[in-house]
Amino acid sequence: MSATSLLSSKPIAPKDRLIFALDLPTSKEALEWVDKLGDAVTFHKVGFQLFMAEGYWELVEALKARGKKVFVDLKFFDVPETVKNAVANLSKRGVECCTVHGSQAILEGAVSAKGSMKVLAVTVLTSLDRGDLDDLGFQCNVEELVYSRAKRALALGCDGVISSGMEAARLREGLGEKLLIVTPGIRPVENKPVDDQKRTMTLEEAFRAGADHVVVGRPIRQASDPRAKALEMQEEIAALFALGTQRV
Ligand code: C5P
């Protein structure tokens, strides 16, 4: 990692920089987790697993009623008109952001219908590495692919991207402050990488590389005391951003 710190200077409350991935089997369990974590987490991500269970939108409403920010991570990918209409419907639900895969026309469709909701383009899933990209028929390196997709997304009017911390610094340096960088694949040093995530970083590394938000699931969910783990991460984030824009 570069020795230079690229800490985000966007006016985001430090607590909102941590997004918890509510990857749980049912909405009931998800809400129990929301209440168990309480004020340790202010921003929650609701994805596919819950979407396929009962009560997804009731959960979104329950989160909003508790004053939480909501990230709808359904990774839309379809013909441009369908994505546009899906984003138009979602934008009426008062959530912060959503994710979209895709070509120029798909991203344009999403941007045209997003209203005040943020559209984040998926670059390259953090669970994919060089071998997986070969398998999918991509010859270029991961960093190039992430950069070109992020550059295009920004030019088309997307608010930001989902990117691993490993590519965040290049994005921040090359594409500027405006781009919102949301980084999953956060792993503590001691268990790097032991699951499906391959392009991982620690929380501090990801923020120093320019991430605006991190998405954390298993490191909190699988902790022996999840609320204590989330609070520990919040303390780390608060300390990091208390340094302001100080360059290390
Ligand atoms: O459990 P873990 O910390 O790996 O959770 C990461 C979350 O971020 C998951 O919900 C996953 O869907 C999501 N995500 C990701 N890579 C992306 C986009 C989203 O890991 N490119």
Domains, the chain: 13-243 (3.20.20.70)
Contact 203, 187 (CB under 8 A): no
What residue owns the CA closest to ligand 1's atom 9? 21
What residue owns the CA closest to ligand 1's atom 3? 217
Digit-coded pLDDT (tens) for 126-152 = 777 788 888 888 878 888 889 999 999
Digit-coded pLDDT (tens) for 176-188 = 999 999 999 898 8
Q: Mean pLDDT, 10 residues at a time, over the chain (248 residues)?
A: 74 97 97 98 97 97 98 97 98 98 94 98 82 83 90 97 92 96 85 66 95 97 97 96 61
Does the predicted TM-score (pTM) go above 0.85? Answer: yes
Q: Which atom of ligand 1 is nearest to the CA of 45?
A: 10
DSSP letter at 44 equals E
Give the DSSP per-residue string, 163-200.
Answer: --HHHHHHHHHHH-SSSEEEE--B--GGGTT-SS--S-
Catalytic residue among 15, 75, 118, 151: 75
- Catalytic status, residue 75: yes
6 contacts: CB under 8 Å, gap ≥ 6: 168, 169, 172, 173, 208, 209, 210
Number of DSSP helices (H) and strands (E) in the chain, helices first: 11, 8
